[in-house]
Amino acid sequence: APALRQFQRFDSASRPWQAPIPSRRFTLCRRMGKGGSSTAAVEAPAVRGAKGKLVARTDFFWDDNDEPHAARRKAIMKAHPEVSKLTGPEWRSKYICLFALVLPQIWLSVVTADLPWLPYLAIAYVFGATITQALFLAIHELAHNLFFKSPLHNRLFSMVANWPIGIPYTIPFRGYHLEHHKFQGVDGVDTDVPSYFEAQHIRGPLSKTAWACCQILTYALRPMFIKAQDITAMHVTNWAVQIAFDAAMLYAFGWRPLAYMVLCILLAGGLHPCAGHFISEHYVFPHLAPKQETYSYYGPLNYLTWNVGYHNEHHDFPYIPWSRLPELRRIAPEFYDNLAVCESWVGVIWDYIMRDDVGPYNRVKRPMPKEE
């Protein structure tokens, strides 16, 4: 950490979901780019310039308290014990993943090989990248054992979902993602939080645009520098299964289908509407609700992304599958309706790039717990 670290702490123990929903006349509404709004009127622990304008931060939001989701889960279970019936696998998921995502993406990778560049790129962006993003999020569901009852079956099927992505990543992702849930924001553990190197160098619209174009690469490479994983038998299996699939595709159809898959990774994790969820989920937006570290999005892109927009709901109950998250919100509206929300993933990308007060430092970090 830099010697001149600016510790701007705030009290997350004061949870906005524990307070009454503010009345309309006291509501402070803000826009998240072209689409987001908040009904949370809170004082901002933000960096302000001489004229009170929000400006770029010089360090993360540091918080000594626990992440908010465990406490909210406990409160919801006390108020609505019937929520426990929502947990468990969704039987339809495996069929949706296989027949609507895996097989169509493999087919597209083959039939687009000889197309001219313009229709090739259009198909790759509109269809291929959208399917790849959906595959990312299918693997996310599988990481929580939400396709099958058996953890092993979820691991093995995740390798099938990994096929059209071209690069083996499902097993490493699961380890890092479960740590992100258990240790949200913990320094040196949660690799979802940008590194100091990223935060120090990604400061203006140009560098933030470049980062947004290839943010999937930072998500892939960052963990290796922050917290490398031990190699397990499942890691080796993931690599072996993926290499075998890639070799079969190369033998049968040549290199172009594999190039298509890699291109779709870059497009899906770049300036793509569905990629807005990477930013919207856990960045702090001082112009909305500065004490809130997780945002939900309830828009139509959830139909393409396994309802990952229901992100507060997902972190509160990670073992409720995508199909039942809207029901969780319906059962317990008093815990969600007064939270700030993201209404546009395109808008949040715009905000990230264009607003001085939004950048890599806009994440909540927690110190590493001291060993007793």
* pLDDT for residue 194: 95
* pLDDT for residue 50: 52
> Amino acid identity, residue 156?
L
* pLDDT for residue 339: 96
Query: Cα–Cα–Cα angle for 263, 358, 63, nearest 5°?
Result: 110
pLDDT tens digits along 115-156: 999 999 999 999 999 999 999 999 999 999 999 999 999 999
- Is the pLDDT at 169 greater than 50? The verdict is yes
pLDDT bracket for residue 173 (50, 70, 90): very high
Rounded to whole angstroms, how far apart are CA atoms 199 and 60?
9
pLDDT tens digits along 237-271: 999 999 999 999 999 999 999 999 999 999 999 99
Q: Are strands 36-37 and 31-32 parallel, antiparallel or unpaired?
A: antiparallel
pLDDT tens digits along 21-55: 333 322 223 334 333 333 333 334 556 555 566 78
341-359 per-residue burial string, b: 16 or more CB within 10 A, e: under 16: bbbbbbbbbbbbbebebbb
Q: Mean per-residue pLDDT for 277-306?
A: 95
Handedness of CA 146, 364, 268, 339 (dihedral sign): positive
* pLDDT for residue 239: 98
Q: What is the average pLDDT value for the chain, to the nearest integer? A: 88
Q: Please state which of the ranges 3-17, 64-78, 334-348 shows the lowest mean pLDDT.
A: 3-17
* pLDDT for residue 229: 92
- Is the pLDDT at 225 greater than 90? The verdict is no
Rounded to the nearest 10 degrees, what angle do helices 103-111 and 256-268 cross at? 120
* pLDDT for residue 47: 64
pLDDT tens digits along 176-206: 999 999 999 999 999 999 999 999 999 999 9
* pLDDT for residue 52: 60
* pLDDT for residue 3: 33
Q: Please state which of the ranges 9-13, 142-146, 227-231, 275-279 shows the lowest mean pLDDT.
A: 9-13
